[in-house]
Copies of this chain bind each other. A is one copy, B any other.
Amino acid sequence: MVAFMISRRSGPSLYQQVAAAIRKKITDGDLVAGDQLKSEKYMAEEYKVGRDTIRDALQHLRNEGLIDTRRGYRSRVRTPIERELVWLRSGEKVFGRMPTPEEREQLDMSEGVPVLVVADHVYPADRFELRAE
């Protein structure tokens, strides 16, 4: 059974179609946290596209925080981490942005994870949530 028809001539680009197919598997629960995806090579053959197209799709899924990829190891569905609660004092402002490469390094963050900034404190958004006092 072919779950998805990946075709050049149906609107979205190939990598977007592939990304949508994998995204659906995750949101539908066919793939759950910790599950490995197939290898890029395998998926390239499965969807009949180039490996580059698969990598494009995976990169977008990484940037959505859905999967994690390590060199030499297949991509895995990310485990939602319990967010640590940080109290926000009255009057304090918070905004979000992507981390600098240095911050990503220092805070050991995955690609595609934003940060919350409160009074010069930088919180990885996948591990912290803020609550107004």
Task: Count A-side interface residues using an 8 Å CB cutoff.
Answer: 36
Complex copy number for this chain: 2
Whether A63 touches B98, Cβ cut-off 8 Å, given contacts A88-B88, A114-B125, A125-B114, is: yes
Q: Which residues of B contact A6 (CB under 8 A)?
A: none
Interface residue from B93, B114, B126 paired with A131 (Cβ < 8 Å): B93
A50 within 8 A of B: no
A132 within 8 A of B: yes
A52 to chain B: closest residue by CB: B52
Whether A95 touches B132, Cβ cut-off 8 Å, given contacts A63-B63, A100-B64, is: no
Which positions in A face B, CB cutoff 8 Å?
Answer: 16, 20, 59, 63-65, 83, 85, 88-101, 111-116, 125-126, 128-133
